[in-house]
Structure 1
Amino acid sequence: MKNNQEEITRKEAVKKLGKYAALTALGTFIILSPQKAQAQSAPPDAGSGF
């Protein structure tokens, strides 16, 4: 069962997946950063008029 695609070793595949996992984790951390989330959210009593 040989494909026309270039075959890579298990070691190379793990290396590539590791890079994608690191980028995904970094992106998720930036998007869900607690400090940024607090800065973007309104205070609890905003617009209450008191």
Structure 2
Amino acid sequence: MKDLTNKSNITRKEAVKKMGKYAALTALGTFIILSPQKAQASSPPPETGDNPF
């Protein structure tokens, strides 16, 4: 059986580059999903006399 670990090894520089792409994509997705303007627009208006606690 051949040793396949040599083909799957990547350098530290390549790993950091790949992780940077994933981190950027995750940050962008999180920013879009948790956008304050969209969250505020989709929340119901507060009722008067309602205790939030």
| Smaller-chain TM-score bracket | 0.7 to 0.9
Question: Once the two structures are aligned, what percentage of the paired residues are identical?
Answer: 77
Determine which of 15, 18, 27 is the counterpart of 1:16: 18
Structure 2 residues not aligned, in runs of 5+: 49-53
Task: Give the count of matched residue pairs.
Answer: 44
- What's the offset of the Cα at 1:44? 0.4
- Which residue of 40, 46, 49 corresponds with 1:44? 46
What whole-Å deviation, never above 9, does each CA across 1:9-43 have from its counterpart, x for those lacking one? 00000000000000000000001000000110011
In structure 1, the gaps of 5 or more residues are none
Structure 2 length normalisation: TM-score?
Answer: 0.74
- TM-score, normalised via structure 1 length: 0.79
Q: Which amino acid aligns with 1:30?
A: I
Q: By how many angstroms is 1:45 displaced?
A: 2.0
